[in-house]
Amino acid sequence: MRKSIKIWLAGFIVIFVLSNIVFAQTIAVTPKEIDGKTYVDIDSLKDFLNFDYTKTQNSLIIQKKDLSISEVIDKVNKSVVAIIGDSKKIKADDFYYSKIPAGLSHGSGVVIDKNGLILTNNHVVEDLKQPYVIFYDAKAYKATVLYSDKEIDLAILRVNRSNLTPIEIENPKNIYVGQEVLAIGTPLFLGWRNSVTKGIISGLNRPVDEVYTFLQTDASINPGNSGGPLVNMQGKLVGINTLGIDYWQGINFAIPAENILYFLDHYKKFGRIKRCYLGLEFEDSWLSYVGLPSNLGLKIIDVKADSPLKEFAQENDILVAIDSYPINSIAEYNQTLMKYLPGDKVKIKIKRNGKILEKEVILKEWPTSK
């Protein structure tokens, strides 16, 4: 008798709590007793609480269900902006694809702070005499470029507007190949602001320019989309749309959340990127050049006079690893250094004449004159 009362009471409590969470909605839940303990079947709750889950041998991974496309657009739209300005460098014949008058250039951006901070590509704003930001409600504001970095191709702008809707940035660990995504921005023409295209993440860690790695997506990215958000079906930012491959379809790239967080974290703490420096120049292996997997390491072709490895490394040495991170391309090298700050100690592993040599060094900060 006592057991049945205990089970009934547990079921009542579950129903009471859940009904209050969702404002008086109710659901029938039948607790089960196993080995003297009372359980509620998770399958009976997942639709009610709008989550999916996967089971592993030792854990239960709960994930919030994806939103519909229209729900994602409604959630994100107020965070997406267009950016326009008079370009210092653009030529009239560069406007064959655009309805924008010659001399003007435009791109996209996304709100990252309710008090007026906008994230976009460096290449969207670097040549603008005076950028203007146009919001979802068609109101335009003069913008100030607070900081930009050409290598990582990101920039932060400020406008004098508050109570904005900032986008949420996804945890890089939750980004995977095959994940559905939406690209939102202003392709080709300002009248097409907040255009949406849909696709998937086609690949991770793509070394497009030998500097950093990118997300690959088949969501359409056209001129003007640069700087706009690539979001998952939770409406979270997974990348900043950056470029497409001319004359080819379905091959487009975005700066990944990992690099965005690195850029924003350094700006918040230091006002700029404090990039690490080892004073080495490299040559990618032929495998890296053609995109094949490589474990050949990275060939050193020059050791600078101010390198912390000046007395250790030599030309034609092969950089094998930094701490426990294997290095096989220039992009992989740069991505690895993002994990550190100048002043950090790292263990450098190189290969010379078939022998592995190791040395602990202190990372320098990238010289501003370089």
Q: Tens digits of per-residue pLDDT, 217-235?
A: 999 888 888 999 999 999 9
In a domain, 3, yes or no: no
In a domain, 310, yes or no: yes
In a domain, 342, yes or no: yes
> Are residues 341 and 307 located together in one domain of the fold?
yes
The Cα-based distances of 370 to 81, 297, 341 in angstroms read: 33, 25, 18
Kindly give, in sequence order, each residue whose CB lies less than 8 Å from that of residue 311, ignoring residues fewer than 6 positions away: none
> Are residues 155 and 223 located together in one domain of the fold?
no
In a domain, 326, yes or no: yes
265: domain CATH number is 2.40.10.10
In a domain, 31, yes or no: no
Catalytic residue among 87, 108, 123, 266: 123
As for how many domains the chain has, the answer is 3
pLDDT tops 60 at residue 244: yes
Structure tokens at 112: 């990252």
What pLDDT is recorded for position 87?
79
> Are residues 281 and 361 located together in one domain of the fold?
yes
> Are residues 129 and 196 located together in one domain of the fold?
no
Where is the domain boundary, 236, 255, 270? Answer: 270
In a domain, 259, yes or no: yes
> Are residues 262 and 304 located together in one domain of the fold?
no
> Are residues 178 and 215 located together in one domain of the fold?
yes
What pLDDT is recorded for position 18?
43
Catalytic residue among 79, 87, 226, 307: 226
> Are residues 290 and 237 located together in one domain of the fold?
no
> Are residues 233 and 309 located together in one domain of the fold?
no
pLDDT tops 80 at residue 362: yes
Tell me the pTM: 0.78
Where is the domain boundary, 215, 242, 270? Answer: 270
Domain containing residue 187: 174-270
> Are residues 215 and 281 located together in one domain of the fold?
no
What pLDDT is recorded for position 39?
62
β-sheet bridge partners, residue 110: 80, 119
pLDDT grade, residue 1 (50/70/90)?
Answer: very low
> Are residues 132 and 89 located together in one domain of the fold?
yes
* Pairwise CA distance, residues 322 & 179, whole Å: 31
Annotated active-site residue 98? The verdict is no
What pLDDT is recorded for position 188?
77
Where is the domain boundary, 220, 250, 270? Answer: 270
Annotated active-site residue 148? The verdict is no
Kindly give, in sequence order, each residue whose CB lies less than 8 Å from that of residue 297, ignoring residues fewer than 6 positions away: 285, 318, 319, 320, 327, 328, 351
What pLDDT is recorded for position 266?
96
pLDDT tops 90 at residue 12: no
In a domain, 57, yes or no: no
> Are residues 263 and 197 located together in one domain of the fold?
yes
283: domain CATH number is 2.30.42.10
Q: Please give the mean pLDDT across all residues of the chain.
A: 83
Catalytic residue among 153, 218, 284, 317: 153
Q: Convert the pLDDT of each residue in 80-107 to its tens digit.
A: 999 998 877 655 555 444 555 556 788 9
What pLDDT is recorded for position 296?
82
In a domain, 52, yes or no: no
Identity at 115, one-letter amino acid code: N
Question: DSSP state, 166?
Answer: P
> Are residues 78 and 147 located together in one domain of the fold?
yes
The Cα-based distances of 187 to 74, 82, 88 in angstroms read: 19, 10, 21
